[in-house]
Structure 1
Amino acid sequence: MDVKELNLEELQHEHPLTLVDLQLIHRDYIEYDDEYDANDLIMMQNFKCICNRCDRRIDWYHRYYYKCSMSSCTYSLHKFCEEIPPTLKFQGHPSHTLILKRTTNDKKCCACLKYHRDGICYHCSTCNYGIDLLCATFVEQNTIHHPVHPHPMISVSVEPGLNKCFACGKKHEGHFYHCTTCFKFSINFDCLSLPFKLSLQTQQFNHRHLLTLSYSLLDQPYDCECRICGVNVEDEHLIYKCSKCMYYVHPDCATQRIEPFLSDFLPGLGKTEKNFKDIDHPNLVHLPVDDESHILSRQIFEGEPWVQERDKNDLHSRHRYPLVVINNDTSTPLHDPMKRIKLLCNVCSRPITKMPFYKCPAEDDDSCDFVVHNWCTQLPIQLQNPVGHPKHKLELFDFNNITVGIKCDICGLPCNGLIYACKDCDYVIDVNCAFMPKEITHEAHANHLLTRIDGASSSRSSVSKMECRACRVSIAKSESYYRCNACDFYLHCRCALYLPKTIRHKYDKHPLQLSYSPVEDHKSRYFCEVCEEELDPGKWFYHCAECAQSIHSACAPLMLQSEQGANSLSDSEGVYKYINIKFRDVTDVLWFHRHPLSLAPGTENDGLCKECGNKLQSHLIWKCLHCNFGVHCYHHSPKVYAGDRSLMYKYEENKRIIKHRGPQTNFEFYPSEMIRPETRDWKVVDNR
């Protein structure tokens, strides 16, 4: 082999060279991904040219390369081809140092056993041992740089293998790249070639911002779920995320075509095909309603024929004064949180926002605040085949004279209005749950019919765990709930019926909308304007996009200044647990305190119970306005009707188990073929 001394100056190009970074987004890839034009990114990702020294391809994954500074010259070099050292320590020939020299093609390379082509090589004159430039730069030639991983990755084998990919957590058969620094990290060729930017625009799912491929969810304070399949995303796996919204999609969900049948198996995060005909359901209740006071009116007037007997005057006879109708009377202000006016019906505890309604006419009795909706005067005395208790009839009981409250067996919430009870069994439901429709539709799961499942008669052998989509609390076996028969979608009855579409806040001139997922153009954390605690946007909440204000759904009825601090952090989800309680003053002195007391929701400022020493916050309490006295109601509660059922009420739920981020799992890896990846098409468009 003819080997000659080589002067490095001979390799220099006649014009100055410029170092080019093909991945300008690499360093700040996660934080500033939206600052780069999409067309520029596509051009960089599709960049290809030939190195003038090794005749190998230069591409996006090399990240850096040298090009001639003259616009008319196309001379280009790999960064490592330009920066080759004059000497080399080679593992295949450890006894001597190899020297960079010029060679001809009359002998084979001692490493790859292929003939040298005219060019340069590393040579040992003592042993006549030489390797060509390609073998000397083998590692650099097969190293790639990927924006979503901070270290270079290399492929060193020609045989594909079967292994679990660290990037997606799934097993793949094929080629793998391995991190040169993180020995636990290996990524499959398919995941490696995912598009870095994605425009999600399909018939079923779309997002108006570009999505970025990322590993980083460590800055996300809440549990996140894929907006397409609804399954939680893992912070150690690849994910497409939006830099302007809390919008996340699995790569498999984002890059494959969404087939029409798939919508039948999704939990309702995107558009769904309508699976029922309106003509078959003429009395269908569409939720959420605009005004929370209208829920019961629709249930009574549009419900099923459960009524055996109606007596409109029966409710009037239950009060000590005949009730009078209020119609177009401005002297009695309606319920208005904006003006801190609270007007709640004594029968259903829902706000009275429209006329006509009935009230007590006794002007000389300031303690009587008895008011009732017009439709609540039409409640039937008996219910046949009632919700959750078809074997017995239920009768209407006046529970309003008992101040504390009793727990409803359907929604699990306490109430102190009128109730329906069974004389033969210890079964009680409030008037709101008594007329719960069998079928509903809900905006959160548009176009799919939701069917009521009564807990006592339902079979759950096929479903081990069900979680309410609104509050993310598990649904107990004995509970009644709403279910979509086509999807994995469940709602507590109270979450479906008690949350109106809009609410008003005295500090926001706009109505707040019921939101079912993190809203667009809101990347920062969410905080409730009422309780001032952090809010998880994965649970239903109220939000004003114009003012960027949010409220827990459970805090929505607590917008009056006097009720701030009523909910503890663990109670700020779902429906306000005292939504069916009408709080009031008790003018008579009770046997356990010398002053008149008020029934009130315990707040953080109320401190500790005088009886047991536990916190009063988030409990029903007896509260004295004359002295610093407060006790839990269940310490001093009367008894009611048949069965001597206790009024002691404790509201407890199995809270959602929050996922704790643990250490990353170790994966063994198999070397993969020495091939260069190519980024796939970055834009997904549904052409159907």
Structure 2
Amino acid sequence: MSLSPQWKVQLVQGKFHVTGKIERKNKEKGKCQPENRHRLYLAKGEEASHFFCKDCNGEDHVECEKTPVEVKHLLHPKHSLQLVSQKSSIIQTRKCFCCDEDLKKIFYYCTGCDYAMNIACAEKPPVLFIDRPKWHADTLALFPRQAFLTCNVCAVADSSSPIYMCPPCDFVVHQRCTGLPRVIRISRHRHRISFTTSFDEGDWSCGVCRRKIDNDYGGFSCIKDGCSYVAHSRCATQKNVWDGIDLEGVPEEIEEEEVEPFVTISKGVIHHFSHQNHHLRLDENRDRIYDENKLCQAYIMPIYFGNFFSCMQCDYILHEECANLSRKAYNPIHPHLLSLMGGNDDVRKYEDKCSACPWPCIAGFSYECRKEGCSFKLHVQCATISEPLVHGSHIHPLFLTSKPGEQRSCSVCKDSRLEFTNETFNCIECEFALCFGCATLPQKVRYKHDKHILTLSYGKETSTMTYWCEVCEEKVNPKDRFYMCDDYCCVTLHIRCLIGKDLYMKPGALCFSNDGKELRVLPNNHMSRPFCPGCRKRCPYKIFMVYTRLIFCSISCIRDF
């Protein structure tokens, strides 16, 4: 069947906006090119029965049956639905009102109500009665209008899904909620949780969104005696929290015996999995001289303070905490088990990004998902930060409450970072949000020309002080973040001047782009600093990069060149 959408729409902050009328691309009739004819798969597993021709928008294909450009549907009787085409977006998605699946490229839409339905749903009549004994003993009847009725299963009153009800029992359920699981495991809790139709008296708050739970409606609670963990139905089944597997009737799996990250050889001497050829010895000397060139091979950051393990035969070192990192771990922002990877010198792609922060994963340790088809990975810095996060940038504790597809701008760096992740640490008292890039910046550091510890200062909006960076000798904005010595010397430095612009990039690392071009990271420790053709300045940071035989001071310079 031929498709002839009439309008172009674009999704902006969850709502569609009409951007213009669709015109045929080729003004000559009968000159349609086969490569401009695109098939549309209406449902998973089915063959493509519809097509869209860019050249004529379906006008010239008189031999084909045409999909109606306007329809009336029982689930939306007030207005007609028009056939539209949406601009594709990898960041934002919208669900079909009827089937709760992602909307296809072309679908039916009501501009007045912002109501959207896939073609496959519009072509079949709705089911008027359903039996869902798992949720309610009686037959449920379709309520054929959009209505803000509170669902007994998810405790939400919205009109984004068809509603089924049992009037005598005062039972209401969204169509999409009838497919919710009964027993699940989520990334936010170590035990299984199961659905309950209501909660006991008391003040309950959701372990995912941290908001209050209405005791009279359904949700999930921990199956273990004595454990008080609870969650809203929708929060517990978010795709960044739940792996999509219903465990009802599935016996509890036997936990694998934890593999230790190292073997103790003698007191203070270990054999770590990441450094197979040599042994590491614990260094507890607190009076050692700070060396900014000694990098922890897990963090790819200098050893500012604290104990560390150093190789007895080479320059390999690890923070004591990094040496003790678990080989397997769950993380709150991913539903699958993650494995600790590190210690190998394999060549990586420089496009490989941490799934939480903006920095690439081309060196150091990382926690990676080994599930087939899943490319989720985290720097150890991002994997080991936890909630509630008490952070110097904000007066309230912060929590990981982001929902899939939710867009928040970081309140500190003012960068939405949407190309990297949607996850932020959020305040439940106000609108403050903190991205992982800012949350994992070291709060205390050392500087080679200062014997004191420097602290990350978050500046003051009303400050009139004048500060100068010790490295670049340029002004430091007192309203921005910077590192400062709180002792007598009052040394101040830009963040990028002290720890760099592209973090966790190991000097000597080699990686390749997707098109096979080599990128090499080198230390910027020569008498003359190289010139970057990207920003057209001398490279000011501790490292520079060689890419396509040109020298760049940062990844952003490579992208902008």
TM-score by length of 2: 0.45
Between Structure 1 and Structure 2, the one with more strand by share is: 2
Which of 1 and 2 has greater Rg? 1
Between Structure 1 and Structure 2, the one with more helix by share is: 1
TM-score by length of 1: 0.38
- Specify which structure has the bigger relative contact order, considering alpha-carbon pairs within 8 angstroms and separated by 6 or more residues: 1
